Amino acid sequence: MKLPDITILDEKEKILRKKSKEVSFPLSKEDKKMINDMIKYLTMSQIEKEREKYNLRAGMGLSAVQIGVLKRIFVIVEELDSGEFKNYIVINPKILSYSEEQIYVGEGEGCLSINREVTGIVPRYARIRVQAYDENGAPYEIRVREDISIAFQHEIDHLNGILFIDHIDPKNPFKNQEKMREI
């Protein structure tokens, strides 16, 4: 596989703090290519041989804004089994509902745009229901849970100019940990 020619922006880039714009359909050729490139990049980052060959950090989600495009588009690539992946293409997402239960990633959330160690927990909903559009402009609703729910919330935050570090209390990075479930 050939690595797509995309550059993931670092947290210092001001564009990451901007709110992304709604997308209109049909998608342009450039937008479709960008989506395919983002999926290919994430897939390669999860395959050990490719990750080592191209010196990549493993990632499962990527928003258009992270590659400098202010559009409400993100993709998630979930590894189901070794070498088997499920792709989520999410355009103009809106969270319709969420669980009362909150969870957090025990080892800490990560982000391809944040290239440093971050300590603390990020409270997320255990389950969410999202309305979005696919790459053909067809609306759909999806319920996601656990790690995929966290990934969706993380990427939706990106579309709103929010980074996961914004959810960590600097004075008490493990605040309310006992009220949430670790995954």
Which of the residues are catalytic? 155
How many Cα atoms are found within 13 Å in the side-chain-facing hemisphere of 75? 22
3-state secondary structure of 24: coil
Q: Residue 103 corresponds to which tokens in the numbers above?
A: 């969870």
Phi, psi dihedral angles at 67 (to 5 degrees): -115, 20
Contacts by 96-102 with C-beta closer than 8 Å and gap 24+?
Answer: 96/128, 96/129, 96/130, 96/131, 96/141, 97/128, 97/129, 98/125, 98/127, 98/128, 98/129, 99/125, 99/126, 99/127, 99/128, 101/125, 101/126, 101/127, 101/181, 102/126, 102/179, 102/180, 102/181
Report how far apart, in Å, the C-alpha atoms of 40 and of each of 6, 75, 85, 86, 98 are: 11, 10, 11, 12, 30
